Structure 1
């Protein structure tokens, strides 16, 4: 059994690569079960709640004035692979790689007139998108402290989302005159800055690149003392 807490960094249409002064960090909390199948292979399943956010503010697209925040659940299952067997006498610290597949549920929201608003039902690009996309997660971990029954791991993982609507932004601006006025106000927020709205078909996002999120977490692992584990420790006393 193990659980983790960490910080998140969203990557998508409402962030800017290399803008280290405005990382828009969030938070995550997770719980997992794992089963060591062999000296190097561990099977793992996990559920997580994560908070992410992004905005055009302080980017080169600040004039578009779009923003979002989201508290989403995800689940995934996959494997961990230790770089060396636990019995290897030449390595005191044994890092591991992880990879797996799962699902996340997207709940993008924005603040409008001081109130949080759910964006997906408004179809801000005139599209009803799937809010339960597949995900692929991969990353690296390293143990930082271990005892017989407890371990502390530091883990960094990136989750690739098979959707470009994690932030409710993907393609082009729709024809606002054909939309509900409230949805139109959330689709193009340039009017709040005193600017003219974008023309229908103007670029709103980059549909060529899927969204994702990075999580750096500290994980506490509790080892359940089963007969198979005791047998494993007799074979691999480390």
Structure 2
């Protein structure tokens, strides 16, 4: 029985030995946004920085579990859109993004054998955000509390309560990692984050009645719900849109992306096949 157990463990050595590896490190790169204020899928003129911490554990040569905490930003402005109608809407926003995620990587190649591998990853994340817009003095105005589309107002029960600032996203993407030294692993990754909210940018559906918004939230809410009077594309200053006029589109939820360079430090065994050899020595018969 002892020999049988030893033989089974010996066969499993290439997988078990690699499961002892932990990696700690970080990622630095860029963040982008896709939503109602971006006419293109991604508007790279509003690319913002991103930084994160990562912890990974190799389960076997092809499966790696991961967790991370990341900060980034999402931003957009109608001024950068080509459509005159969107420019006339004149909305903008910026928001810090704080994300914690859990997930897994599927390594395409055996990195200990090849020294590199492409990979795909997926998982689940909890993130927080708070859309703001900049006034004429450069100060940031928080938008959520203004109920710009009637959220939380009794006159618009179909809009529900004010949207939560803590939401779920589904990170997934692709990457490439390379063993730089026995302890250091370098990589690059592109990660998409579809969300379950359409209010990352504080824009989703239609304008609400101006007088109702004024009575419930004050003049500041009216000023930031519609900013078309700040631009003059046709030579005529427009009026606040009537109740129900299209402001955004609820057809698609908002997305954000985190992409960057990763640097990981290996804790535990080396990256060579010597770990399997050392493991087998424990079961010499």
TM-score (norm 2): 0.76
Counterparts in 2 of 1:233 and 1:176: CA distance versus 1, 3 Å: farther
Which of residues 125, 128, 143 in structure 1 aligns to 2:177?
143
Q: Of 196, 201, 213, which aligns to 2:256?
A: 213
Aligned partners of 1:39 and 1:85 also within 8 Å: yes
Name 1:235's counterpart in structure 2. 276
Distance 1:135 1:47 in 2: 13
Partner Cα separation in structure 1 for residue 208 and residue 40 of structure 2: 26
- Residue of structure 1 in register with 2:108 after alignment: 83
Q: When the two structures are superposed, what TM-score results if normalisation uses the length of structure 1?
A: 0.91
Match of 2:247 in 1: 204
Q: 1:186 aligns with which of 215, 224, 249?
A: 224
Partner SS, residue 23 of structure 1: helix
Relative to total residues, which structure has the larger strand share, 1 or 2?
1
Task: For 1:106 and 1:197, locate their aligned partners in 2 and report how far apart those are by CA, in whole Å.
Answer: 28
What's the Cα RMSD here?
Answer: 2.1
Structure 1: distance between partners of 2:110 and 2:277:
9
What is the aligned partner in structure 1 of residue 190 from structure 2? 156
For 1:113, what is the secondary structure of its paired residue?
coil
Instruction: Select the structure of larger CA radius of gyration.
Output: 2
Where does structure 1 lack aligned partners over 5 or more consecutive residues?
none
Distance in structure 2 (CA, Å) of the matches to 1:236 and 1:176: 75
Q: Which has the higher helix share?
A: 2
Structure 1 equivalent of residue 14 of structure 2: none
Structure 2 residues without counterparts, runs of 5 or longer = 1-23, 152-161, 232-236, 279-285
Count of aligned pairs: 232
Q: Distance in 2 between matches of 1:145 and 1:84?
A: 13
